[in-house]
Chains A and B, each alone.
Chain A
Amino acid sequence: MVVRPRRHPLVPLTILLSVLLIAMFAQTPALTAAAFIGAALYLATAGRTALTWRGILGYLILWLLVAVTNPLFSTGGATPIVFVNGRPYTKEALLYGIHLGGMLISVLLWFRCETFLVSDENRFFLFGRIAPKTALLISSVLRFVPLLRRRADAMRAAQTAVGVYDDPDWLHRTKSTMTTWSALTTWSLEHAIDAGAAMKARGYGLPGRTTYRTCHFTMTDAACIIGILALDAIVITALVAGDLDISYYPSIVTSPVNGRAIAGIIAYAALALTPFFEFLKEEIRWSFYRLKM
């Protein structure tokens, strides 16, 4: 098992939220590109186990769909390529569609990255402190769902053996699934009362009892978070000042490039690429350790 130096889970969470929020709402091709590259590199390395060709194809199709359909709805551009039903299909709208699709894909990819950046137990640690009941609800549901599916399968198998489930008739099948469902409800509600009693017996709700493992917040963690927030501030300053503005209609106009804009883009790229470089650093360190063994 690989033991990595533990950083407080607030640090990756702050990076994730900063990158995600800006990627969702800022409208600058450079920022979108940075978010996309950061997520793609991270997923291709740290998250490569979860990547499938079908998934990648799905993202590409979604991107294409958003890009191609955008000019059908907005005809604001000044350079028509073709006319569809008498409405212009403009170059500007197509480019804007490509940008919007890229933005959407980057956001989706960052949601995928979340799985690898913040592990389950850390998510519960962060969540369990602010919202202990909700966190408990979530973790128990995650345990109940597979259990209920197994119970439903067992009941279905029994019913099939008796010969009441296998009817190809649509209505009959719906009815028997409803019956299984109803039985499942009874079974599970009784179980819930038992689980509640067991929790009470083990001291649920008593003061000083936590539902998560603890992590310690060190000075390094604080420094990391301050650094992330400083980078955020640089990007947001540029956004508020309008240095990163781009308008697509009627023709593409970008704000003149100035120092603030460049600083904002560099700061955002640093944020978006940090998870990837962190992962790379750890990998290199580990292969180095293994070499020394």
Chain B
Amino acid sequence: MKRRWITFLLFFAMIPAVAVGGALVFRERHYAWISLCVAVLTCLPILYDFERRETGSADLMVLSVLTSLSVAGRFLFAWLPGFKPVTAITVITALWLGAEPGFIVGSMTALLSNFYFGQGPWTPFQMFSWGLIGGLAGLLARPLRKHKLLLCLYGVFAGVFYSLIMDLWSTFWMGEGFSLSRYLTLIAAALPTTIEYAVSNVIFLLALTGPVGDKLDRIRVKYGLFRESESDN
């Protein structure tokens, strides 16, 4: 346990070190560099923890099926553009299986769906934002499971958060440094999509939380999966 904390502290000391070091080499583009560092280095400790922990083979397969379901959802609902169950699946995983599985499913969905939809420098940012949406939902599991209204609000928040992060990415990568007017223009241009994300998140969460949550709860209890998260319940 103690060693794990030291590793974590070292890691969080590394983020500013790498960011500042890179900013010295890549002077003009340091915004882009620092943002990429933060995105990548936030995902790493959680993946590292996942790697180190003992995970049963069934747990691992359940995680990969949930990730596949949310990747396949992007195809299944392809006839409704912008309508994707990714956030819903990530949040539901987090609510029933814990914060870490939520983070893993969210970030891995971003990585893997880009195998089909195209990898690019945006991948770490999508991993970061979907992972955080999952991780945060896991931390707030208790209130979110109890109140439907809070869950809906979280769906709206997730849609807006995702959009803001991706617009920030575009601002850093398509221009020099940070320009507020460019950021605001991008946010305005993306407004319809943002609203669509928020609305579809709420619809998916309302429709899927009950049935999928029950199924996850059932296999978790029946097969004794994800024992570490049991203490939260």
Contact = CB atoms under 8 A, between A and B. Distances in A.
Interface of A: 24-27, 66, 69-70, 73-74, 96, 100, 104, 107-108, 111, 114, 131-134, 136-138, 140-142, 144-145, 147-149, 152, 173-174, 177-178, 180-182, 184-186, 188-193, 195-197, 199-200, 204-205, 236, 239-240, 242, 245, 247-248
Given A25-B32, A189-B62, A192-B62, A133 B51 contact: yes
A138 B58 contact: no
B10 interface: no
A221 B24 CA distance: 31
B52 to A, nearest CB: 9
| Majority-rule SS of B interface residues | helix
Given A100-B174, A181-B85, A188 B25 contact: no
Contacts of B112: 138, 141-142, 145
- Which of B72, B111, B175 counts the most A-chain CB atoms under 10 A from its CB? B72
B119 A185 contact: no
A132 B57 contact: no
B150 interface: no
A100 B176 contact: yes
Nearest to A114: B119
Contact of B76 (A26, A177, A199): A177
| Majority-rule SS of A interface residues | helix
A182 B80 contact: no
B25 A239 contact: yes
A199 B47 contact: no
B5 interface: no
Nearest to A55: B118
- Name the interface size band of chain B: 35 or more
5 contacts: A108-B120, A138-B111, A185-B211, A189-B65, A196-B57
Q: Which 9 A-B pairs have the closest CB atoms?
A: A196-B58, A144-B68, A25-B26, A199-B57, A192-B61, A27-B28, A192-B65, A140-B64, A148-B72
B51 A137 contact: no
Interface string B56-79: 111111111101110111011101
Contacts of B212: 182, 185
A141 B58 contact: no
A189 B65 CA distance: 7
